[in-house]
Amino acid sequence: MGRGLALRAALVLLLSVAACGTPPAAAPNGTDVMFLQMGLVQIAEGDRVAQVTERRAADPEIRAVATELRAAWRTEVPMMRGWLQEWGKPREADPGDGPHAGHGALHALREEDFAGLSEFEGSEFDRAAVALLLGNLHNAMETIRMQAADGSYPQAVDLAERMTESRQHQIQRLLALAAGEKPEGEQDD
């Protein structure tokens, strides 16, 4: 009887250890939801500028950055929408809800910004497009930094960390182009 009891105890111990395998994923918090909702709005705004920039920029490097941004956004948006849907959260925040209630469109691009692009050609267009893209990316970085610091959903935090790296690189490229510098690897000898 002692041997049977020891065997059962060992089996219970083995099953309890096996059940402890992978801890459940952390539940999303308000920062995770805000990051996705604000991120989707910022991406939509940036995409409006990048789409026009891909077609009209005189500088091929500016067109290349716009294309790169749009490609990144095409992979990020479905993931972001999917998480919100999975969590039962709307794609857009209720403007009267949450910690950013009352901020309105403080960081949003305005219709005048988009309309102003149509007034420019050539290098003037390039300067205006770069300024709008930089503004959009800087605003996005604020949201991304909040997520990286305060988000709890591991996959969303990981996305924010990847976005930080890529957006910082894109901002540096646009700043160099705005300053009239050639991209790395294309410097004159």
- 15 inside domain: no
Q: What is the pLDDT of residue 104?
A: 46
- 6 inside domain: no
Q: What is the pLDDT of residue 114?
A: 74
- 36 inside domain: yes
Residues 126-143 as b/e (b if ≥16 CB within 10 A, e otherwise) read: bebbbebbbbbbebbbeb
Q: Are 153 and 29 in contact (CB under 8 A)?
A: yes
Residue 23 in this model has a pLDDT that exceeds 60: no
Q: Could you list the residue range(s) of the whole structural domain that residue 160 is in?
A: 25-178
pLDDT in tens, 94-129: 766 555 544 444 456 777 777 788 899 999 999 999
- The domain spanning residue 102 has which CATH number? 1.20.1260.10
- 10 inside domain: no
Domain count, the chain: 1
- 101 inside domain: yes
- 9 inside domain: no
pLDDT in tens, 33-57: 999 999 999 999 999 999 999 999 9
- Above pLDDT 90, what percent of the chain? 66
pLDDT in tens, 128-182: 999 999 999 999 999 999 999 999 999 999 999 999 999 999 999 999 999 988 6
End-to-end CA distance of the chain: 87
Q: What is the pLDDT of residue 126?
A: 97
- 73 inside domain: yes
Q: Are 178 and 130 in contact (CB under 8 A)?
A: yes
Q: What is the pLDDT of residue 102?
A: 44
- 118 inside domain: yes
